[in-house]
Amino acid sequence: MRRVPSVGSVVRRSSSSLLRSAVCGCLALVGLTAQVQASAPLDNFVLIDQHGTAQELYYQSDARALIIVAHDSTCSSSAADLARIGELRKRFGGDLARFMLLNSDSATNRAKLRESAAANGVDLPVLHDDSQLVSRTLGLKSTGDTLVINPSNWSVSWQGNLNAAHEGIGALAKADASVSLSAAGKSAPCAIRYDEVPAGITYTADAAQILRDNCAVCHTTGGIAPWAMTGYEMVRGFAPMIREVLRTRRMPPWNADPEVGRFEHDKSLSREELRTLVSWIEQGAVRGEGEDILASDPVAWQDWPLGKPDLIMEIPSYDVPATGIVDYQFPRIPNPLKESVWVRAATVVPGDRSAVHHVLMGASEPGVPIVEGRENVFDNYIIGYAPGNESAEMPTGTGVYVQPGTEFLFQMHYTPYGKATTDRTKVGLYFHKEAPRNFLRHTVVINPTIQIPPNEAASAQAAYFEFDKPAVIYSLVPHAHYRGKASKFELLLPGGRRETVLNVPQYDFNWQRTYAFEEPLKVPAGARLVHTTIYDNSVKNARNPDPERTVPWGLQSHDEMLYGAVSFAWAGETADKPIHEKGLADTYQWVGFLDKNMDGKLSWQELPERMKKRLVQGFKMVDANGDGGLDAREMYALNKRQNAQRTPEQPRQGSPAAR
């Protein structure tokens, strides 16, 4: 689904803390410079490495020494530098020191960095500083420039040429530095080619327009951000914070890898915009002459940004307590419409933004029993609200079909925030005037069997969904909880080719973004959409409620989810000729998380115990093609036969997710 853009922060802070930040920010501007000062703590930063992994400086807190080396594989000194780093790693590696390479070439990309690293046998993270903001701050001038950083206080304990780095590392790591090293390479280092950053950047001429275009839609009076960009004085007070959240990629809240795919309503800053804002702050956040457009032409917050809805409904109110854990709520609203409609867009207006974590909405279908809560909300799915996803527009030529006599179904997740409140959330629907070409379908790549080990910093969990017919994928939504660290979606095509279509290297639980492709993905029958999430269940994850716990699947945020929402359409389906088989799609969904080796079928060992009991005598009979496993169509045929044989009092067979 296409989403209306929305940018801002959901960090909830008291007015007094915001005031302190603003006052301290004004004072801190004096100390912001474009180069690190001796013995001063380094400012945090996040850069993406050659593998598409986010690398945060302060996350390396468990290292005794962190060594960052300026490197460029196209420089003639590269081979000698890598050899010297190899010697240093042999002497100081493991628990003593951690090494990273830093590439500041704004003209290259991470694909080239990945290729050169593989060709040269480099197994270290190669951080790409394409904006050159970090390299400038660190004072790097040429390849081989090395910083030995003390993670206990983030000071630079030694800075110099790589050939002498053993002295600085040995001193910080309290290790013997009298190691025999080879002679220094004869090749001269290469100067880092910095792009020109103009002097005299001002708020009125440069920064204000960038802020208005990218930030003020949320940072406005009545918006979802914790403070409003009402003019220069307010922005200047928050300038150090703006610099921090830009350098650490927390803002804008758009977490898709810019080198993987192109998406509608991309709210990330361009390299030039990022460089301009940070440089403006580092140059002193000067106002300049002229009009203050954030003050004279503010962006107005709109509850209904798509215009007046065709239908507005208020979800039954709910009293949220001040503290504790609130079970998911599943309210229902009878459909007041007397005729069938095609929904083309929707907007959710939470009654209390601080309490409403998310809202999911769907519509029931005639003749389909409504299970209390749970899955039905996804059957005829309309919208999922979370901060940043207030509105949804269906892709061109698609819609969600809602018939009279049905009900609108909701899943409400409330999070108490220290004050009792009553939520009265509203939803607005917009209808097509004429029937669209096709149904918008929805599925979730899900794995309710996940178990995340305690104290594990990078636990990878995965599942897939196989398209049994040609389809068009419109959008993806990765979702996890507090331990979610990174997420990606890959297409595995029938010929074996694997392609990453969305990479989220720095997942942020505060934001639930929908990533809608500029060009929808056309996939053939047999294609699998593989969803992988990395979870950080270590003490280094500041949001982790309990690193000692083995974390299961669960609805509440202290548990976890592997959950990837997918909006798509069947290529062979039309509004007049539906071909969607819900039971078959559900079967493909749960086969995709039970199939641990992802070979497209379930072996006897992969079957849940309850299913094994059903198949004690009949595994080979169900295995119609005799390949030693049960694929989705074989499992679907089995379920249909067993459901046909059941009495009305017996439960129907379906997903084994909860068993």
Is residue 34 predicted with pLDDT exceeding 50?
no
Buried b (16+ CB within 10 A) or exposed e, 150-183: bbeebbbbbbeebbebbebbbebbebebeeeeee
Q: How confident is the model at residue 652 (pLDDT cuts 50, 70, 90)?
A: low
Could you give the angle at the alpha carbon of 333 between the alpha carbons of 332 and 335, nearest 5°?
A: 135
**Per-residue confidence (pLDDT) for residue 385, from 0 to 100:** 96
Q: How confident is the model at residue 39 (pLDDT cuts 50, 70, 90)?
A: low
For 545, phi then psi, to 5°, come to -70, -30
Distance CA 461, CA 537 (A): 13
Is residue 60 predicted with pLDDT exceeding 90?
yes
Which residues are CB-neighbours of 445 under 8 A, at least 6 positions away? 463, 464, 465, 489, 529, 530, 531, 562, 563, 564, 566, 589, 592
Strands 398-402, 438-439: pairing is parallel
At 414-466, the pLDDT tens digits run 999 999 999 999 999 999 999 999 999 999 999 999 999 999 999 999 999 99
Least confident of 42-56, 171-185, 355-369: 171-185
Which residues are CB-neighbours of 629 under 8 A, at least 6 positions away? 599, 600, 601, 602, 603, 623
At 61-88, the pLDDT tens digits run 999 999 999 999 999 999 999 999 999 9
At 490-538, the pLDDT tens digits run 999 999 999 999 999 999 999 989 999 999 999 999 999 999 999 999 9
Omega before residue 252 within 30° of 0, cis: yes
With CA atoms as reference, report the closest residue to 296 among 234, 353, 240, 230: 230
Say how far residue 351 (Cα) sits from the centre of its chain: 26
Dihedral sign for Cα atoms in the order 89, 90, 91, 92: positive
Q: CA Rg, the chain, in Å?
A: 27
Q: How confident is the model at residue 656 (pLDDT cuts 50, 70, 90)?
A: very low
**Per-residue confidence (pLDDT) for residue 623, from 0 to 100:** 87
Contact criterion met (CB below 8 Å) for 444 and 589: yes
What is residue 122's three-state secondary structure? coil
Distance CA 120, CA 189 (A): 18
Which residues are CB-neighbours of 576 under 8 A, at least 6 positions away? none
- The residues pairing with 145 across neighbouring beta strands, listed in sequence order, are 161
Section 648-655 average pLDDT: 51
Q: How crowded is the C-beta side of 384, counted as CA atoms within 13 Å?
A: 24
- Give me the domains of the chain, ranges plus CATH numbers: 2-29+197-296 (no CATH), 32-173 (3.40.30.10), 311-436 (2.60.120.230), 442-597 (2.60.120.230), 609-659 (no CATH)
Tokens 């010697």 belong to residue? 87
Distance CA 491, CA 519 (A): 15
Is residue 647 predicted with pLDDT exceeding 80?
no
Distance CA 214, CA 245 (A): 14
Contact criterion met (CB below 8 Å) for 401 and 340: yes
Both tokens of residue 360?
């999911």
Is residue 32 predicted with pLDDT exceeding 70?
no
**Per-residue confidence (pLDDT) for residue 93, from 0 to 100:** 74
With CA atoms as reference, report the closest residue to 237 among 16, 32, 17, 25: 25
**Per-residue confidence (pLDDT) for residue 178, from 0 to 100:** 58
Q: Diameter of the chain by CA atoms? A: 86
Section 192-218 average pLDDT: 97
What is residue 84's three-state secondary structure? helix
Number of residues in the chain:
659
User: What's the pTM value of the predicted model, to 2 decimals?
Assistant: 0.90
Could you give the angle at the alpha carbon of 186 between the alpha carbons of 185 and 187, nearest 5°?
A: 95
Strands 528-535, 459-466: pairing is antiparallel
Q: How confident is the model at residue 14 (pLDDT cuts 50, 70, 90)?
A: very low
Write down the mean pLDDT value for the chain: 90
At 180-203, the pLDDT tens digits run 555 445 568 999 999 999 999 999
Q: How confident is the model at residue 372 (pLDDT cuts 50, 70, 90)?
A: low
Task: List Cα–Cα distances, 344 to 382, 383, 422, in angstroms.
Answer: 9, 11, 30
Cα torsion at 322, 328, 334, 336 (round to 10°)? 60
Could you give the angle at the alpha carbon of 302 between the alpha carbons of 274 and 399, nearest 5°?
A: 95
Distance CA 531, CA 561 (A): 12
Distance CA 7, CA 403 (A): 35
Which residues are CB-neighbours of 561 under 8 A, at least 6 positions away? 446, 450, 479, 480, 481, 553, 554, 555
